């Protein structure tokens, strides 16, 4: 992954690869307030602090229920980040293809799209993958299909392999540009049926990385 001037390996040695996820309207009340106020300078400072703390990549997620201009806000955030700091790897965290397209068109480096899945069958990925190919972006795909979030290792692998085959065989993406988020519920949920979820996720990662030809 790269900015306009610097590059960083997607897989760090020694690991792990650290991703700063604080610029996220879904997980931070502070970020939500800043976005509602169009206070992009303060958002940049949050990003700077994460890079200073060792983040190799930064995730930007900006949708708000109070506003319908996710595309414009993502463009503003990407512009500010690109001007203010050397972000070696910027992750555009959105499920909206037009937002991903607009952001990658502005980013001077090689980024990542986060938000790909099979929740609506091929509807989303058939829009996301051509954008990734056009801009040379990597893609983070979640193990979700038409039946919902996968819980077993076999189902996680099945979905990952399905997405991988479409991306690599049909759209020509590099296997190295495919990253899978096998998802899990917190151990603190306390639900009996989810007690083995962490183990299934770990094994799902093992299966997906070993059988999908160099995917992450």
> Residue with structure tokens 């609506």?
120
pLDDT at 32 over 90: yes
Indicate if the pLDDT at residue 14 is higher than 90. no
Please tell me whether residue 109 adopts helix, strand or coil conformation. Answer: coil
Supply angle C-alpha 17, 160, 197, rounded to 5.
75
We report the CATH number of the domain holding residue 170 as: 3.20.20.20
Percent of the chain with pLDDT over 90: 72
Residue 216 placed within a domain:
no
Which residues are CB-contacts of 8 (< 8 A; sequence separation ≥ 6)?
A: 1, 2, 56, 57, 88, 89
Q: Tell whether 34 is covered by a domain.
A: yes
> What residue numbers bound the domain in which 156 lies?
19-211
pTM of the model: 0.90
Residue 6 domain-assigned (yes or no): no
**Which pLDDT score, from 0 to 100, does residue 11 have?**
85
35-61: pLDDT as tens digits: 999 999 999 999 999 999 999 999 999
Tens digits of per-residue pLDDT, 135-189?
Answer: 999 999 999 999 999 999 999 999 999 999 999 999 999 999 999 999 987 767 7
Question: Which residues are paired to 122 by β-bridges?
Answer: none
Q: Is residue 1 part of a domain?
A: no
Burial class, 172, CB count within 10 angstroms (exposed 0-12 / middle 13-18 / buried 19+): exposed
Number of structural domains found in the chain: 1
Q: What separation in angstroms does the CA of 141 have from each of 64, 79, 85, 169, 181?
A: 22, 25, 27, 16, 6
pLDDT of 63: 96
Confirm whether 8 is domain-assigned: no
């Amino acid at each position: 992954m790269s900015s306009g001037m610097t590059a960083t390996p997607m897989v760090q040695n020694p690991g792990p690869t650290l991703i700063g996820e604080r610029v996220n309207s879904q997980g931070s009340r502070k970020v939500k307030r800043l976005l509602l106020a169009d206070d992009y300078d303060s958002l940049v400072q949050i990003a700077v602090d994460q890079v200073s703390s060792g983040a190799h990549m930064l995730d930007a997620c900006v949708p708000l229920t109070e506003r319908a201009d996710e595309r414009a806000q993502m463009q503003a955030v990407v512009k500010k980040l690109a001007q203010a700091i050397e972000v070696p790897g910027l992750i555009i965290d959105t499920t909206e293809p037009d937002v991903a397209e607009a952001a990658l068109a502005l980013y001077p480096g090689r980024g990542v799209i986060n938000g790909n899945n099979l929740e609506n069958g091929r509807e989303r990925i058939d829009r996301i993958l051509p954008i990734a190919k056009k801009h040379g972006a990597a893609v983070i795909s979640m193990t979700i299909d038409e039946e919902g979030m996968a819980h077993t290792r076999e189902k996680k692998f099945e979905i990952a392999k399905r997405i991988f085959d479409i991306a690599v065989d049909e759209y020509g993406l590099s296997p190295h540009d495919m990253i899978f988020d096998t998802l899990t519920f917190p151990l603190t949920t306390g639900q009996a049926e989810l007690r083995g979820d962490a183990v299934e996720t770990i094994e799902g990662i093992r299966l997906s990385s070993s059988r999908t030809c160099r995917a992450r």
